Structure 1
């Protein structure tokens, strides 16, 4: 493995957790088996530097996304910003995506008193993870996923009698994208997640 200029930078728990998430994705999509997952996971928690973590993910398709800054950015000291989110504004409106549609890797949903209905079942998803940030109040939000897609909503906060109904459960087969739902829902917003 070719060394990177920032290999000596120390890592903490956020970077280790990101590496574990990438290993989970690699296991779920069949790139590594359970024994290799366990071996690599142990090495993640022993890692002290970026170089250590990079070596754990070596030869996996997700390795390049471990650190969002590129080697060129590390050399210049200028951080590389994540991709700008595609904004769906549902302020007093309905935003619906279904059938075959191009799902961006970074989505921001905003609005009040509207409806958002996103069906990822047949969406074209070019990345392993879609970040779906919700900043909504008094809304109805519906998400539908396919049999191999996973929804994670641990980064989502709720307030003002808002709630999440996850009727999807775990994926029934491995290999699909992860939709990471983050942000906040408030003022009696209802988020419902279903599986096709």
Structure 2
């Protein structure tokens, strides 16, 4: 970001989104905790000028903007089903490319790369279920649903220290749902007695 002379200029939603992506990258590289991410992300969303946005990134090294993003693991399905359960190893970025497909990604026993996992969806006429542990949170604000649905049945904030899913992309005539395992509310209820 420019420093100094342009600090008074108003910022666009695209500039706020870019800063949000840089903050997400800083979390995935261990430069920020999820609490710091939440505070800074909220400040970025509220920023009106470039100076206010610059403050959000001020103490992060320039390497954050230049660091290569991890290569996504691509899961592709055509008129089939994709299932990941048990102790599967999760990549920091998952890319789902599905057409008339049923996808289930169960993160409850998965080996995670860190507390933040990004999922990029390009879906047509499919259903996607993301099953997360009871402590997990998810953000589906980046999902563009066209004649479809994006449903979050878990907490959205503050971001979980164990697992926070950031899901973005497009769902056309399909659905994406983030939920806890069936019966988890019963286990929590039974455990509290």
* Structure-1-length-normalised TM-score: 0.65
CA distance in 1, matches of 2:141, 2:92: 18
Deviation at 1:16, TM superposition (A): 4.5
Deviation at 1:130, TM superposition (A): 1.2
Structure 2 partner of 1:97:
84
Q: Which runs of 5+ in 1 are unaligned?
A: 1-5, 57-62, 71-79
CA distance in 2, matches of 1:177, 1:64: 25
Q: Which runs of 5+ in 2 are unaligned?
A: 8-14, 182-193
SS at match of 1:67: helix
**Which is further off, 44-53 or 110-119?**
44-53
Structure 2 partner of 1:60:
none
Equivalenced residue count is 165
Structure 2 partner of 1:26:
33
| Deviations 1:134-166, CA, capped at 9 Å, x for gaps | 10111011111112221111111011x211232
User: Of 153, 156, 179, which residue of structure 1 is paired with 2:140?
Assistant: 153
Structure 2 partner of 1:163:
149
2:95 aligned with 1:108: yes
Q: Indicate the RMSD between aligned Cα atoms, in angstroms.
A: 3.9
Contact 2:123–2:172, Cα closer than 8 Å, also in 1: yes
SS at match of 1:185: strand
SS at match of 1:13: helix
Contact 1:91–1:111, Cα closer than 8 Å, also in 2: yes
CA distance in 1, matches of 2:105, 2:79: 17
